[in-house]
Chain A
């Protein structure tokens, strides 16, 4: 069943240049959809439209047969979202923040507290659960964000660069978790520019460039059509970004210049 559908999404900020233009895709239940593209290609903009934080200039986001604006509250009850920036309240402790989010989501208190403690433990944050978030490192904040998105067992997960700042172990845990949740039948949209992870985790991939989808399909197929051995090479082939080896040589020569 279709969990989320984007129809001809277009977003122009103040400038007339579109950050995202005419983007359409379907996210099925049990599907992990990868969203890749260079910096500034419009991934986060798309995600914000999908969560209802940003109003599309054209097009619509449809969930369960209705446009999401028609019942944002119910839509968001089913949604777990990890934003690209971990801009959390520095004066709350990690536990207090999660308790706040859970309460605002009207989760029953008893099970909420049990869940929070278990999650903090599993994400190795329990030693710091009572310290202020202001003193957390980037990776710790990111883990708090992840827990906040998972607490209510959402049917739809939208993750914008969820691994940023995470150490290897935590990143592995999250990668496995995404796979597992996909198998459980949850619909997951995974945004990233780390291609190795996308290749391993996602069943389908959309490649964005300058706000347009330039490829859409399973990673294996993208590699086949591009005639490359890995998604990274296929990506480099698809996205015109100049010659990276040449750029590296140029940087080195600027560095050593007097």
Chain B
């Protein structure tokens, strides 16, 4: 029975697969998904897992809004005629931001594999394929990808949000309209986000020489990520303000997500003054980025892809004389022994030159900068500057930066570089070495010290040397403890080990990290601020806290057994059955 059902279908599949063009499109889609340099960063995630991850934020956001639209809440607010269409405007704005930023972030993530590259030229250009076929096939693959991303990012919220928002709705039709308007506007927002990034990529690639493009691409990517994070952060605070848009204000005064939220409202038949104009901006904006991206893509195809054989990839490397002097000076004060000296240079160079690694730690730091400046702005508007002592928020700023910078570095250490080059370390480093954590610690210190110096100078400038020195000392102590905590059990040379597998404990660790951030950057500064006013009690409190932290660390370290300290190049889950090593080797 099943066989007869399957037969004709399978043969249709096969005949489709035989079609060269279809196969090319499929290949282009594959290369976008798996693309980049497969040797360096083998993230073993299936398409299913990735899609699930992208749809989670929207789903959660929809669920989180259930309170707002619940009947109890309406009753409490004494709203007899609750209009879900009108009330949902700020939330639609939030969803538009979410959809746009996630889709844009996907494009930034896949930056290197969106357009056909040198490898494609090496493998495909000598085959008998008609001129523009590769161009069109990759374009089609991109279109498919954009559609998948747009649908996926909004899948959860598009189904849940209408149900939740229209809980008390009079008719099914009401919900259906809500659903369609939401889905259309949000998917358009996702398309806008993704294609805008694509357009920037295409323009850069078409206009810059390949070398220059490669060099500045990491900066462009981080800038885009920072922009997305900023947009996401404004959406939490702006939501309330958005509710009051009524007067006719030009569309240019609003960030793009507002256009799409307005489009959603306008489609629902609410035509408050600015909505029609904003909706038009949404549609025209999307069309514009589509046109620009396609044009830039075609141009970059001609300029870069077709001429791949002409250009040579000589990427700029080799630091200046200044860097060499600094490193030599560090050899004297910070670095001991060959592993630290050699490893330090390797790690620093990788952190700055490898795009994946640079993107990781700079990205984390950028999030820290965003959060810090957001805190500062909020605090600045609330508290009157009490002149002689900085507020807890101000004291917490360098702590936030430290936390994100150190965390970003720690995450970057885990990302493998080209593992094929590993033999250098396998051969050259004593496997019994205990230097791994020491090396990583020194790298982190090298990044932390400038931060300390800057904060010392700034605090001294605003609040005098006494406060500056005390605070910087506390900062240094906390940074030290943080580094030690992050490096607990670290026994790799950064970038030389396979990526760690996803463990059950990973999600727990993530939650702990978020809690850690609050403890680190909020609790201690609050105490510290008290300490400046009432030194004795609070200072003892702080000292006790840090001491406890240190004792925990020390205990954990003491309890580590010998095999947990050996240098590793492959990070695998511990075997279920472990063979005892009874050979008594020394």
CA distance A88 to B31 in the complex (A): 12
User: Are B122 and A83 within 8 A (Cβ)?
Assistant: yes
Q: Mark A219-231, 1 if CB is under 8 A from B, else 0.
A: 0000000000000
Question: Number of B residues whose C-beta is below 8 Å from A?
Answer: 30
User: Are B122 and A87 within 8 A (Cβ)?
Assistant: yes
Q: Which of A25-33, A70-78, A194-202, A248-256 contacts B (4 or more CB under 8 A)?
A: A70-78
User: Are B27 and A100 within 8 A (Cβ)?
Assistant: yes
Residue of A nearest to B18 (CB): A109
User: Are B126 and A51 within 8 A (Cβ)?
Assistant: yes
User: Are B18 and A54 within 8 A (Cβ)?
Assistant: no
Q: Could you say which residues of chain B place their CB within 8 Å of the CB of A64?
A: none
User: Are A87 and B119 within 8 A (Cβ)?
Assistant: yes
**Min CB gap A1→B, angstroms:** 21
**Min CB gap A12→B, angstroms:** 10
Q: Mark B26-44, 1 if CB is under 8 A from A, else 0.
A: 0100110010011100100
Residue of B nearest to A109 (CB): B18
Does A8 have its Cβ within 8 Å of any Cβ on chain B?
Answer: no
Residue of B nearest to A81 (CB): B126
**Min CB gap A191→B, angstroms:** 15
User: Are A54 and B309 within 8 A (Cβ)?
Assistant: yes
User: Are A103 and B18 within 8 A (Cβ)?
Assistant: yes
Residue of A73, A87, A89, A106 with highest tally of chain B CB at under 10 A: A89
User: Are A77 and B126 within 8 A (Cβ)?
Assistant: no
Chain A interface size, as a band, is 20 to 34
User: Are B128 and A77 within 8 A (Cβ)?
Assistant: yes
CA distance A85 to B309 in the complex (A): 12
Residue of A nearest to B133 (CB): A104
Contact pick for A90, options B17, B39, B122, B312, CB 8 Å: B39
Segment 295-352 of B: residues with Cβ below 8 Å from A: 309-310, 312
Q: Could you say which residues of chain A place their CB within 8 Å of the CB of B141?
A: none
Does B124 have its Cβ within 8 Å of any Cβ on chain A?
Answer: yes
CA distance A13 to B124 in the complex (A): 22
User: Are A73 and B128 within 8 A (Cβ)?
Assistant: yes
User: Are B310 and A54 within 8 A (Cβ)?
Assistant: yes
User: Are B38 and A101 within 8 A (Cβ)?
Assistant: no
Instruction: Across the A-B interface, give the 8 residue pairs with the lowest CB-CB distance, nearest first.
Output: A90-B38, A91-B34, A76-B128, A77-B128, A103-B23, A54-B309, A53-B309, A87-B122
Query: 12 A-B pairs, CB-CB below 8 angstroms?
Result: A13-B312, A51-B126, A53-B125, A53-B126, A76-B127, A87-B123, A90-B38, A91-B34, A103-B17, A105-B128, A106-B20, A109-B17
Q: Which residues of A contact B (CB under 8 A)?
A: 13, 48, 51-54, 72-77, 79, 81, 83, 85, 87-92, 100-101, 103-106, 108-109, 132, 134
